[in-house]
Amino acid sequence: MVSQSASLVRRRLNGVFPTRFFMELYSSDIVKEPLILGIESSCDETAAAVICGRRVLSDEIASSANIQSLYGGVVPEIASRAHTDAIEAVVQRAVKNAGASYADLDGVAVTYGAGLLGALLVGVSFAKAFAYALGKPLIAVNHIRGHMAAAYLDEPGLRPPFVTLLASGGHTAILYAKSEAEFEILGSTLDDAAGEAFDKVARVLGLRYPGGPNIEACARGGRPIVPMPKMLKGGGGFDFSYSGLKTAVINYCHTKEQKGEEYSKADVAASFQCAAIDVLVEKTVLAAKAKGVTTVTAGGGVAANTYLRESLKSACAEKGFRLVLPEKRRCTDNAAMIASEGLIQYRLGNFAGLDLNAKASIPLRSCL
């Protein structure tokens, strides 16, 4: 029996880990964990990943960001075509690099929303055909829940309750995780999402897409000395508002340009970054204290920002909270986080039918 189980593990993970690690996996009963394939195609990343329990066995991404940057942002038609060209090869690589075969998979998880409709349809259509052909369960995953599930991959022992900061291009919120499947919204943006504000400010400063990383890079050479609005700091409960901050940057730059006055883009970027992130950190820590939890997590593309990560680490350490931060590549769009949420839904028996369709927009409350 032992030799048969060890053989099964080797077949699934062929060539990925050394023999000593196989014994570690076997002794920890990982052979009993489901093998989940995750597929992500909500924007400009074609991604596939395989996880066994909370262990990431492979994580493949093909991005069209370099092409999109030529147009100053994501062109939906170009994104859809890029997904169509890449998805089969990306899935094949993910399964191969996991040391698995298609037959080994226990479930196929796919992002069905929110995102670009054409891009989503490529992933959903492929996943439905793939799952049907293999006779495997199809698991519908909400992109936002995927971001929240990413933390489990970096800390397999993570257990609710905890408070999580969600900061992405589409949503910004502070959530209370009651269980792996149940969340309470403590606060959210009243207008623009944080990531959306980063992208819009980047365009005003003449920085290329994607805005978040380029704002961060530009800010390294500047000082946060340009006055910025407080953004409900100290008020508004745990809610946020980014429209005023975005408008303040636009007005500052346009006024300087109209007067023919020079200004430092690096200083504007640094000032915006501090204003946008300081309030996220402050309110997340306050929410954790209010809920009486000991652990804080974060997810979404903005959580890859170095200034946010360092600020949140410092604030949590000062207040005595344990911080679980996914590695940067798991904060931006990826398929491992989709597989992680897929595992949660697999264990709950929440499977989708072949009538699953893509959704461009899903209200935050409908995600939880």
State residue 67's pLDDT score: 83
Query: How many helices (DSSP H) and strands (DSSP E) are in the chain?
Result: 15, 10
Q: What is the CA radius of gyration of the chain?
A: 21
pLDDT tens over the chain, length 368 residues: 333 333 433 444 443 443 334 344 444 444 579 999 999 999 999 999 999 999 999 999 998 877 887 787 889 999 999 999 999 999 999 999 999 999 999 999 999 999 999 999 999 999 999 999 999 999 999 999 999 999 999 999 999 999 999 999 889 999 999 999 999 999 999 999 999 999 999 999 999 988 999 999 999 999 999 999 977 655 679 999 999 999 999 999 999 999 999 999 999 999 999 999 999 999 999 999 999 999 999 999 999 999 999 999 999 999 999 999 999 999 999 999 999 999 999 999 999 999 999 999 998 887 77
State residue 260's pLDDT score: 97
Region of 115 (left: φ > 0; alpha: ψ -120 to 50; beta: rest) is: left
Q: Which residue has the tokens 């992130």?
A: 277
3-state class (DSSP) for residue 358: coil
Contacts of 212 (CB under 8 A, 6+ apart): 195, 198, 199, 202, 301, 302, 304, 305
State residue 31's pLDDT score: 52
User: Which helix (H) or strand (E) is 59 found in, with range?
Assistant: strand 55-63
d(CA 241, CA 246): 10
Picking from 147, 172, 130, the residue whose alpha carbon sits closest to that of residue 277 is: 172
d(CA 244, CA 233): 13
Contacts of 244 (CB under 8 A, 6+ apart): 229, 231
- Which domains occur in the chain, in start order? 33-150+334-367 (3.30.420.40), 160-331 (3.30.420.40)
